[in-house]
Structure 1
């Protein structure tokens, strides 16, 4: 199929996707392509019509139909073989919401899990779902410590009170630091 026919086909798909009635469609063609029919337009005019449709909200799809995800997303909670794995995924997503993790995808989490589990005798795990109970616990605690450190540093930089343990010698537990950070961000 040549480029001109491809553009005409995309315009017809755009008409359907935008739910344009015939009069509106012809007006759009005439306003942007100087003709009321695609068959009378050159490639430049067809591209102008397609651009106008994209401004109205039409989105082109790549070859092959659906646009594939480049990143794998996490499965639903409760499906993991260990409860820690669901917690790992939840903390990873919360860290992405707190702008600590740039990529919230399962693939990025797998890379982190591979790095953390590789520290223990060179036996890295390729996928978070494949972790045994000990590996999942190690990854979970590593994530919680990283998250807690990052939030505590942000709280210090902002001049907020950082929750300390009962002795006052170190940071409070994970939950206390998270709750303190979220309380400060909502109320300040």
Structure 2
């Protein structure tokens, strides 16, 4: 699967090139044969990025003139993935690394993910999960309604019911698992039609 850094660049390119969702998904389908960037392999992600660069995407760092690489620690990857997930849910308008850096600084007083300690990383992860939970229940309900409208197999209904039963306590991880399962199911249904 593509790295979080590749996915972040693709989402930044989408915003920089002012691509609407339909155009973006059509481009992913044409270049890589997928409808969601999360389904990209590394070679396909690189092909998509090359295409976006040919269309005018300019790669920029968090600060102009900065050559600081993205932190590749697992906690930093998780923080970045949560940030992008919040963007997908509509909770974050700007999915860029610069916007994430501003959030990190506001929450921790530290300039970059590379410099946060374990306690600060955990604080960021938990705050992002709480933030996502403001949007996730409604997103899951909407996905369930979409699946009900298009129909699904009994097996899928049983799995959705199982996942939704785990979400009753309002915890992030089961809610995200339900969201991912339903999103994947809808994406596969759209690909078949």
TM range (shorter): 0.3 to 0.5
TM-score normalised to structure 1 length: 0.47
Q: Give the TM-score of the pair, scaled to structure 2.
A: 0.46
Bigger helix fraction:
2
The higher-RCO structure (CA 8 Å, 6+ apart) is: 2
